[in-house]
Amino acid sequence: MSAFAESEAKETFVLNLGPQHPATHGVLRVKLTMDGEYIAEAEPVLGYIHRMHEKMGENRTWAQFLPNTGRMDYLHALAYNHGYVSVVERAAGIEVPERAEYLRVITAELNRVSSHLLWFGAFILDLGGFSPLLYAFDDREHILDLLESVTGSRLTYCYFRFGGVYNDIDDNFVPGTRAFIKRLRERMPMYHNLVTKNIILMKRLQEVGPISAEMCRKYGATGPVCRGSGINFDVRKHEPYSIYPEFDFDVPVYDQCDSMARYMVRMDEIEQSLRIIEQALDKLPEGPVMAEKVPKILKPAKGDYYHAVETARGSFGLRVVSDGTNTPYRLKLRSPTFSNLSLFGEACQGMLLPDALALMGSLDLVIPEIDR
Amino acid sequence: MIDYLREIISGTWSLFVGLGITIRYFFQPVVTVQYPHQTLPMTPRFRGHIELVKDEETGETKCIVCGMCQKACPSNCITVNGEKREGVKGKVLTEYTLDFTKCSLCGLCVESCPTAAITFSKDYNLAGVRKEAYIFDLKKRLEAKN
Amino acid sequence: MYVDPEIIRLLAFLIGVIAFAALNAAYLVWLERKEAAHIQRRIGPKEVGPFGLLQPLVDGIKLMTKQLIVPAGVDPVLFKIAPILVMVPAIMSFVTIPFSDTLVARELDLGLLVIFAFASVNVLGLLLGAWGSRNKYAVISAARVVSQNVAYEIPMLVTVVTLVMISGTMNLSKIVGLQMGGFWNWNILNLSASPLMPIAFLIFFVCMLAETNRAPFDMAEAESELVAGAFTEYSGMGFGVFFMGEYANIVIGASVATILFLGGWDCPFGLFPGVHWFLIKMYFLIFTVIWIRWTFPRTTFYGLLNLSWKILIPISFVNLILTSAMLKVF
């Protein structure tokens, strides 16, 4: 796992944070040039899980690409589903009924909460605390059970369709979700007492891994990374889509720029997602969940279409170029984590290795999404 | 100096609060299900591998061998074959093979079937040792179930 | 043939001590897994034997059947001696520990000094093992462990000096003797000697955690998981012996803390003192050590050293000065 090569000019050696990790980073290789204890350069090496999703997009029909969207970032799969069906609906001019929009938002926000809970557990596991992971997974099991009763899957959802969703919810979903919201709101103070206010964690995260706002703009980092550096950008508020304009929620922005700020942004986002879900459950209308008259063989008009959604990791953008046939001509997926990771090389110069690991954990990396 | 002392005191207090939380969970019941000894029922919408639905009237499948599921599948897992028989309107199903090693449980096949002849099963106990065990012959499974 | 009863007594103690140490090393692993599991709201080992009690035996059999890989370039002597150097001092320290007023292998007048002398050898074993492994990263890791141990020995010894000043002796049995008669006599609540006594206990406990390389101070095992640890080149039983040495050290540390601060074999209400109280208090402290491991994240190396040099040492020196002042005045 460790390689050793010395260079004559400076007293540096190359250390390989190999593709296999004991922590949950996925198959990411980082070539670190270490100057004693400090990192001189860091170069992430990607491609270990490149599965050619964009190429597959060119060889599948529009509907056949749907399972792929759930496999890119499997932790927030429904948002990726949402992005893809939205861009195709924009291309083909399909109207989505209201109940379907509400169901999309509710399930996507539940998925966002589960993604943030898993990130929380894995991040603290990286830093050496083993128990908060299992407490977070306990809460996450409730979300997974709720989403399983609706979509049938626990992780890689393929629930959205062009013009609506695959099926309607059953009777237990709304009371179950309300009970879950109540339960999680009662558990959040416990997480803050156990983890956020813990002096060891505060020393580990405060003023560690500063990422300035200019660095975020330079590399195009979005999501909690840029919101932890003071940039107020959330696709749900600034390029609104679906029915998000109807909900009243805040976008947490912290400007300390350190790992603690990114951590707090995600914890506050959990609470805001719970608010959105509550409002959506209150306003859930009756009606069909699928648009009528969606052609079985979809052939959108020729053109170039773009749509972005806010995932747990940032702004996921899709660009489709349609040439009027039943397969896309080009499908470009803009992965938020790729932009977030690209600032790692510059941000971790001169840092100690454990601080760089805390920074990497706070970026919330899901490598299959980077490599697509 | 005062800040130094205040940080020590508040830091030590936060450690004790954390310890209090974990010891509270120590005395609470476990939340895990001891799997082989206890099992949980699957929800009605759970997506196991697909299976053929038995038509109550004829006792056979509802499949009309239109091939829509085969065309809809993104991974080419489904192979459907049928033949024309004397005196029977439409095609009769002779072979329905699902290559479960490639299936992604997306549901496009179930959605595209015009006669609702296939549905998701609730089967999740699928550990095996040979790849051939995962090429399911759904017609044979349907006959075995009756 | 005349056999000196003293020799028989010493032999019995030798066997007893080794058995106690080995049993503890094996079953503390079981206790740790069960306690960690219940903190995380799951059941730990349960299939092997009732309540998973046979799990350590089965794990031991597994470790013993593993191939003892000795890498080609290692220093043969150092590599093989290092686990022994870690295990032996821990077991030797059991010689002076009084489990009750009659159960002590050898009551030494300098018992406390003997224990701390042996504790320092433990670090030497780790460093030699890493050096003998001929692995640059193991040496860096071990060097960090050495600086961690040195930094935390100072507050520990200063606190112990405070206690020796109060008790007037280094003989462990006599130190306990001065605390008999109920929990208000125990050194942890001995506020007439120094108002900072409970804080001295906390400092001693934290230093004990750092000396035995337990979380949140487990740099040697864990943070280096991305680079290399001090034990990388050890496999199978070699690693097992290091592991047992760590648990033996925890037992020694908990025993010393019990003797110095919690009254040894004294009953909290002074009624029925005996070895059972010693064991109860010792296991309560071990339970707390495990509880701390599964609650907190790890500190960074610099945070660790800062904690010692900037916080623990000043406070322990303040305690020392205060105690000596109060002893002089009152």
CB A259 within 8 A of CB A208: yes
Radius of gyration of chain A (CA): 21
Q: Of A5 and C144, which is predicted with more confidence?
A: C144
**Chain B residues whose C-beta sits inside 8 Å of any chain C C-beta:** 8, 12, 15, 18-19, 21-23, 25-26, 28-32, 34
Min Cα separation B46/chain A (Å): 4
C105 assigned to some structural domain: yes
Instruction: Collect all residues of chain A within an 8 Å Cβ-Cβ radius of residue B45.
Output: 148-152, 167, 170
Helix locations, chain B, DSSP H: 2-26, 68-72, 108-112, 138-145
B90 and B23 inside one domain: no
pLDDT of res. A321: 93
Which chain B residues have a beta carbon less than 8 Å from that of C196?
A: none
Tokens of A312: 């747990």
The beta-carbon neighbor of B45 closest among A63, A64, A167 is: A167
Spans in chain C with pLDDT lower than 70: 1, 222-228
B114 contacts chain A (CB < 8 A): no
pLDDT at B129: 92
- Binary contact (B32, C41; C-beta < 8 A): yes
Inter-chain CB proximity B72 and A194 less than 8 Å: no
> Does A356 reside within a domain?
yes
Q: Do C223 and A354 touch (CB under 8 A)?
A: yes
Cβ <8 Å between B45 and A60? no
pLDDT digits (tens, 9 = 90+) for A75-91: 999 999 999 999 999 98
Q: Which of A317, A322, A305, A313 is nearest to A365 (CA)?
A: A313
Residues B12, B81 within the same domain? no
Region of poorest pLDDT, from A21-25, A217-221, C181-185 = A21-25
Residue C313 falls within a domain, yes or no?
yes
CA nearest B45 in A: which residue? Answer: A152
Domain containing B6 equals: 1-31
Report residues of chain B scoring pLDDT below 70: none
Instruction: Write phi, then psi, for C39 (nearest 5 degrees).
Output: -65, -35
Hey, are the CB atoms on C42 and B31 less than 8 Å from each other?
yes
CATH number where B56 lies: 3.30.70.3270
- Structural domain of residue A261, as residue ranges? 53-371
Chains in touch with A (3+ beta-carbon pairs under 8 Å) read: B, C
Is the residue at B90 inside a domain? Answer: yes
Domain total for chain B? 2
pLDDT tens digits along A174-193? 999 999 999 999 999 999 99
CB C291 within 8 A of CB C215: no
Chain-chain contact of C38 with B26 (C-beta, under 8 angstroms): yes
Q: Does ipTM surpass 0.85 in this model?
A: yes
When scoring C311, C312, C313, C319 by the number of chain B Cβ atoms within 10 A, the one with the most, hence best to mutate, is: C311
Contact yes or no for A65 and B112 at CB 8 A: no
Domains in chain A, number: 1
Q: From C53, C235, B100, C39, select the one nearest A131 (Cα to Cα).
A: C39
Contact A160, A85 (CB under 8 A): yes
> To probe the interface with B, which of C41, C199, C202 has the most B CB atoms within 10 Å?
C41
B23 interaction partners in chain C (CB closer than 8 Å): 39, 291
Residue A3: per-residue pLDDT: 46
Q: Classify residue A30: in a domain, yes or no.
A: no
Nearest-angstrom CA–CA distance, A289 and A76: 22
Predicted TM-score (pTM) of the model is 0.91
- pLDDT number for residue C183: 74
Confirm whether A120 is domain-assigned.
yes
The rounded percent of chain B whose pLDDT value lies above 70 is: 100
Q: What angle do CA A295, A297, A299 make, to 5 degrees?
A: 90
- Tokens 């010894």 found at: C157
Instruction: Judge: A149–B74 Cβ closer than 8 Å, yes or no.
Output: no
Mark whether B135 and B78 lie in a shared domain: yes
Query: pLDDT tens for residues C12-51?
Result: 888 888 888 888 888 898 999 999 999 999 998 888 888 8
Q: In what order do the strands lie in the sheet with A13-17?
A: A13-17, A29-35, A38-45
Q: Does a structural domain hold residue A180? A: yes
Q: Is residue B41 one of the residues assigned to a domain?
A: no
Q: Are residues B23 and B88 in the same domain?
A: no
- Rounded Cα distance, B66 and B60, in Å: 16
Q: How far apart are CA C267 and CA A143, in angstroms?
A: 50
Q: In sequence order, what are the beta bridge partners of B37? A: none
CA atoms of C323 and C196, how far apart (whole Å) = 9
Question: Is B45 in CB contact (< 8 Å) with chain A?
Answer: yes
CATH value at residue A299: 1.10.645.10
Does residue A128 belong to any structural domain of this protein? yes
* Secondary structure of residue C123 in the 3-state scheme: helix
Residue in A closest to C39 by C-alpha: A131
Cα-to-chain-centroid distance, residue C304? 18
Chain A residue numbers touching B120 (CB-CB < 8 A): 152
Residues B10 and B81 in one domain: no
Task: Return the residue in B8, B26, B38 with the most chain C beta carbons within 10 A, the one to mutate for interface testing.
Answer: B26
d(CA A317, CA A306): 7
The domain total for chain C is: 1
Residue A189 lies inside a defined structural domain of this protein: yes
Q: How many residues does chain A have?
A: 372
Asked if the model's pLDDT at residue A244 lies above 50, the reply is yes
pLDDT at A2: 42
Same domain? For B59 and B24 the reply is no
Shortest Cα distance from A225 to chain B (angstroms)?
Answer: 27
Q: Which residues on chain A are in Cβ contact (under 8 Å) with C36?
A: 130-131
- Inter-chain contact B19–C40, Cβ cutoff 8 Å? no
Tell whether B136 is covered by a domain. Answer: yes
φ, ψ for residue C212 (rounded to 5)?
Answer: -90, 10
pLDDT of residue A160: 92
Is the domain of B79 the same as that of B127? yes
Whether A23 is covered by a domain: the verdict is no
Enumerate the residues of chain A whose CB falls inside 8 A of the CB of residue C137: 2
Q: What is the Cα–Cα distance from A306 to A310, expressed in whole angstroms? A: 14
Q: Which residue in B22, B33, B34 has the most chain C C-beta atoms within 10 A of its own C-beta, making it the best mutation to test that interface? A: B22
The answer to whether residues B27 and B64 belong to one domain is no
Nearest residue of chain C to residue B21 (CA atoms): C295
Structural domain includes residue C260: yes
B55, B16: one domain: no
CB contact under 8 A, C40 and A204: no
Neighbours of chain B (3+ CB pairs under 8 A): A, C
Query: ∠ at Cα B77 (B74, B82), nearest 5°?
Result: 115
- A256 inside domain: yes
B89 shares its domain with B134: yes
Is C210 inside any structural domain?
A: yes
Interacting residues of C103 by C-beta distance below 8 A, sequence separation 6+: C275
> A357: phi > 0 → left, psi -120 to 50 → alpha, else beta; which?
alpha
User: A170 and B45 in contact by Cβ < 8 A?
Assistant: yes
Averaged confidence pLDDT in chain A: 89
C226 touches chain A (CB under 8 A): yes
Question: Are residue B54 and residue B27 in the same domain, yes or no?
Answer: no
Residue C169 lies in a domain: yes
Distance from CA of A125 to the nearest CA of C (A): 8
